[in-house]
Structure 1
Amino acid sequence: MPHRSYDHYCAVSRALDVVGDRWSLLLIRELSSGPRRYSDLFADLPGISTDILAARLKDLERDGILTRQRVGPRSSMVLYELTPAGTALRPVLDALSVWGTPLLNRRRSTDAVRAHWLALPLGRAIAQHISSGTVTVRVGDTVFHVVADRAGSVSHHDGPALAPDLDLDLDLDTAIAVASGDLPLTAAASGFE
């Protein structure tokens, strides 16, 4: 498929030429906490077709947003990982998450949900209560950790932290309530007073 462009001499237009296709930013969201296999991406993006997933991965690799590498015995497994250019999109995801959080409202019966999709708003909620540190977050079977620093930067990563300052265990409904702003983190967990 030829590379499409808005053909506007504008920074926003050029950025959208690279990441503006449907599913692209959600793929970047999936990769923002660490490398993923194709099957993991497919499983965590309900509604995407295999053709579209393969096309978006190829486009994002061509544009320098992610890399594809074979790993493991006989290089049979392929991992996708963000490049520094892809990682630099984190503030864009954060801004979209801040803007979109009030739109969450009530969860519809047709809405897919994955606990790790809550990492951005949960990370913001955690950062409001700790000036810096690392917090392991468990939501059901999903485990990730949030790192906040004194400069106000917040990131999330797959798996538990090696030496967390705090542990946060939430069920999915409580995590959704905290992420959507319906429940303060202090009411959901101890250690965040």
Structure 2
Amino acid sequence: MPRRSYDQYCAIARALDAVGDRWTLLIVRELLGGSRRYTDLHADLPGVSTDMLASRLKDMEREDLLTRRRLPPPGAASVYELTPRGRALLPALTALADWGAPALDEQRPTDAVRAHWFAVPLMARLARHFAGEPERVIGIALDEGAFHIVLDPDDVAAARYADGPAARPDTVLRMDTATCAALAHDRFSLAEGLAAGWIEQARPDERTADPAAV
């Protein structure tokens, strides 16, 4: 069954034909961190029903936003990953995060949170801070979990992130969720956060055997 269209000869309308449905852009947010299994997506999209998620994934595959592939044995599971067209939505999600930041004040009791949800807006902040420096793999450690950002020295816009700790980070930044939200949304710089003691920075030779530090 074809998806509904605004039937308007307008680039904004065409874009919303493809990504304007509920949950679609949040699925893109999840897949910007790399390929994910259906169960992983469902776990990190609290509130979405299984039927809705399956329907959105099919729609996005038809729109060439993502592809599904089967992992070789012993994995024997299907994973979803963004196409180049899907990854090209990163600037749009960054702009949406910046636009929505004023509404992100104190966390409400009903708010779910995942550490990697801060990655998209944080990539631009860290690329700016570490410009011209040797750090390329930046680990982020929160109480809710860890993720890491990989910077491209030749292209600020080519930064990417992945869920979980990095195997060999150049540096690890530890902070609480409120601090990460404020940093991600440019309420203060990384340098200011470090100077104030809100953020702890550990380089590889300073880390302990704590698994969350790698």
Measured against the shorter chain, the TM-score band is 0.7 to 0.9
1:50 and 1:23, CA in 2 relative to 1: closer, same or farther beyond 3 A? same
Query: For residues 158 and 44 of structure 1, what CA distance do their matches in structure 2 show?
Result: 11
**Partner of residue 168, structure 1:** 173
Query: For residues 121 and 69 of structure 1, what CA distance do their matches in structure 2 show?
Result: 28
Amino acid at match of 1:146: I
**Partner of residue 8, structure 1:** 8
Identical-pair percentage: 49
Match for residue 152 of structure 1 among 149, 156, 181:
156
**Partner of residue 124, structure 1:** 124
Structure 1 residues 25-174: aligned runs within 5 Å:
25-73=25-73, 76-131=76-131, 133-140=136-143, 142-148=145-151, 149-153=153-157, 154-174=159-179
> Aligned with 1:93: secondary structure?
helix
Structure 1 residues 11-22: aligned runs within 5 Å:
11-22=11-22
Deviation at 1:150, TM superposition (A): 4.7
Give unpaired runs (5+ residues) of structure 2: 203-214
Deviation at 1:100, TM superposition (A): 1.3
Q: How many corresponding residue pairs? A: 192
> Aligned with 1:128: secondary structure?
helix
1:93-113 Cα deviation digits (max 9, x unpaired): 111111111221121111111
1:75 and 1:127, CA in 2 relative to 1: closer, same or farther beyond 3 A? closer
Deviation at 1:42, TM superposition (A): 0.6
Work out whether residues 36 and 81 of structure 2, in 8 Å CA contact, stay in contact via their aligned partners in 1.
Answer: yes
> Aligned with 1:143: secondary structure?
strand
1:114 and 1:190, CA in 2 relative to 1: closer, same or farther beyond 3 A? closer
Match for residue 185 of structure 1 among 185, 190, 207:
190
Which aligned segments of 4 or more residues in structure 1 are displaced greater than 6 angstroms? none
TM-score, normalisation: structure 1 = 0.88
**Partner of residue 23, structure 2:** 23
Give unpaired runs (5+ residues) of structure 1: none
Query: For residues 74 and 165 of structure 1, what CA distance do their matches in structure 2 show?
Result: 32
